[in-house]
Structure 1
């Protein structure tokens, strides 16, 4: 089962990244000087939002404080930058700043697409200050998309950690699990990172077996979603269970159970089952199997 009519949040192309311009410093300087250019301020994963918390509060370049400048691209003919700040805003403005998890479901596709690009770069810059080869201090190039070591010349590029996220079914039922830290009633699809030298399909089978003791086959691609918290690409799959007995690992998964469509709907309506929010590919996987929208979310 593929995504089909189920649009996966954060996977829509929201802007032209204009990669060819990242090394054109004269053009970047000219574009930054244009008062029509819009700038996103980002500090510690937080950014300014509108009063109703449904939109990013974009600034003009002359309103942007000093910080690491990165070029995001163009959207509807308008250049977009982000300025990465070391410190979050002061108390006077702090209430007008928010994190993506808090306001993401309320943002437009345009704002959300630019944000995941900016957040991914910000997380990468934060985690990569020194050259992994020689320890030299890295310098920014290509409008924030490359880091270069002046000592050994080694270049570093933004990294993405592939992770699989899968809905396991036995035809009539779907398997969901919960982590120990989650509130009562919260369940989601299984997920895990891909090991080195492992295919995505192999990772699906291994993670399901490790987390809940179920063997699967017929692993089929569903869709994918960027998830830069801090640097993941969630690759969604459907898988068919060969065995149905559950044996949770007790570490990553505290409890797992099979849900029929009727049970899932009834418990979601009653609030005893709390499913992932619509911004997560997990929700898309569940509703694609269920056959339509379900009530309630995190």
Structure 2
């Protein structure tokens, strides 16, 4: 399945330049006028307002005088180095008063798209990596303080020699279908009337296919046969990879786990199409285009099936 441009956080034009992480004076690079910064403050990004469009790439001069609590090398864009810079969450609130800046959360950016599509993936990369540093200040092996290494792509413990690497948590998200009906559910935190695909974290030692089958069985009581991978999406809340699949339901009777779901039901293809297009008589909807669930549902409505 071709990755749609509307899919949030999935387009990243950066050359990650892994070979550069071993060497280099990054304090000097950070101050160089050619260096660009992706700035994160708390759960928000700090964007530079332009006459027509904002940008997530701030010049080094815009960080003069700012207290950067974490900095990491992200890669290069058109040959220019790009660093991630983390500010205190309270500083982001203060910067909202600066009309030359736009401080907003990443979900809003993925939906409203105030920046070019190729910069949204940059923001996900920066937020996931910088927040990992924020949460991993101490060694999980001995408890001693760790320090950044490899230009921020690793943290090292001088006390016991342990090396710690950024983690990404795999999550399966699946549209399960049986004939001309698909299974959609909702949680109480969802927008009113919104139904989406089921999802869940992959367990240690588990394949993607088995994770799909287990999660659907646990949440809806449905056995799943064939599983087909479709597409993936970085999800920086805090740092997951959404693995989108279609699954073939082997039965119809639902047994809903109401601790996980507020509701789940089978929907016919015509009704799901109306939900996608925001013309459902009952006001039911599917997730917006920035979410991988939208594109899994769209693919099924357009004829994709778990069996290929």
Contact conserved, 1:195 with 1:203, CA < 8 A, in 2? yes
**Cross-structure match for 2:110:** 104
Q: 1:152 to 1:219 in 2, by over 3 A?
A: same
The correspondence of residues 105-124 of structure 1 with structure 2, limited to 5 A, is 105=111, 106=113, 107-124=115-132
**Cross-structure match for 1:66:** 67
Contact conserved, 2:155 with 2:165, CA < 8 A, in 1? yes
Kindly provide the CA deviation profile for residues 214-261 of structure 1, in whole angstroms up to 9, marking residues without a partner as x: 111111111111112112111111111100111210011111111112
Which region of structure 1 is more displaced relative to structure 2, 17-26 or 131-140?
A: 17-26
C-alpha deviation, 1:142, in angstroms: 1.1
Supply the distance in 1 between the matched residues of 2:125 and 2:103 (Cα, whole angstroms).
18
Contact conserved, 1:55 with 1:111, CA < 8 A, in 2? no
C-alpha deviation, 1:30, in angstroms: 4.8
Contact conserved, 2:244 with 2:296, CA < 8 A, in 1? yes
Contact conserved, 1:41 with 1:83, CA < 8 A, in 2? yes
Supply the distance in 2 between the matched residues of 1:196 and 1:86 (Cα, whole angstroms).
34
C-alpha deviation, 1:198, in angstroms: 1.1
C-alpha deviation, 1:118, in angstroms: 0.2
| Unaligned 5+ runs, structure 2 | 304-308
Supply the distance in 1 between the matched residues of 2:56 and 2:212 (Cα, whole angstroms).
39
Cα RMSD for the two superposed structures: 2.1
Which region of structure 1 is more displaced relative to structure 2, 261-270 or 154-163?
A: 261-270
C-alpha deviation, 1:264, in angstroms: 1.7
Within the alignment, does 1:89 sit opposite 2:86 as a pair? no
Supply the distance in 1 between the matched residues of 2:234 and 2:3 (Cα, whole angstroms).
19
> Which of residues 279, 287, 306 is equivalent to 1:269?
279
**Cross-structure match for 1:40:** 38
TM (norm. structure 2) is 0.87
The correspondence of residues 163-182 of structure 1 with structure 2, limited to 5 A, is 163-182=171-190
The correspondence of residues 113-192 of structure 1 with structure 2, limited to 5 A, is 113-192=121-200
How many correspondences in the alignment?
Answer: 289
**Cross-structure match for 1:79:** 81
C-alpha deviation, 1:277, in angstroms: 1.5
Kindly provide the CA deviation profile for residues 34-55 of structure 1, in whole angstroms up to 9, marking residues without a partner as x: 3121112211121222458953
> Which of residues 277, 280, 302 is equivalent to 1:291?
302
Q: 1:24 to 1:128 in 2, by over 3 A?
A: same
What is the SS of the residue equivalent to 2:170?
strand
**Cross-structure match for 1:14:** 13
Contact conserved, 1:6 with 1:288, CA < 8 A, in 2? no
C-alpha deviation, 1:175, in angstroms: 0.9
Runs of 4+ in 1 over 6 A off after TM superposition: none
Within the alignment, does 1:207 sit opposite 2:205 as a pair? no
Q: 1:176 to 1:39 in 2, by over 3 A?
A: same
Supply the distance in 2 between the matched residues of 1:40 and 1:132 (Cα, whole angstroms).
28
Supply the distance in 1 between the matched residues of 2:157 and 2:129 (Cα, whole angstroms).
18
Supply the distance in 1 between the matched residues of 2:210 and 2:57 (Cα, whole angstroms).
43
C-alpha deviation, 1:14, in angstroms: 1.6
Supply the distance in 1 between the matched residues of 2:172 and 2:178 (Cα, whole angstroms).
19
Supply the distance in 2 between the matched residues of 1:22 and 1:90 (Cα, whole angstroms).
28
| Unaligned 5+ runs, structure 1 | 293-298
**Cross-structure match for 2:306:** none
Contact conserved, 1:14 with 1:109, CA < 8 A, in 2? no
C-alpha deviation, 1:13, in angstroms: 4.1
Within the alignment, does 1:242 sit opposite 2:250 as a pair? yes
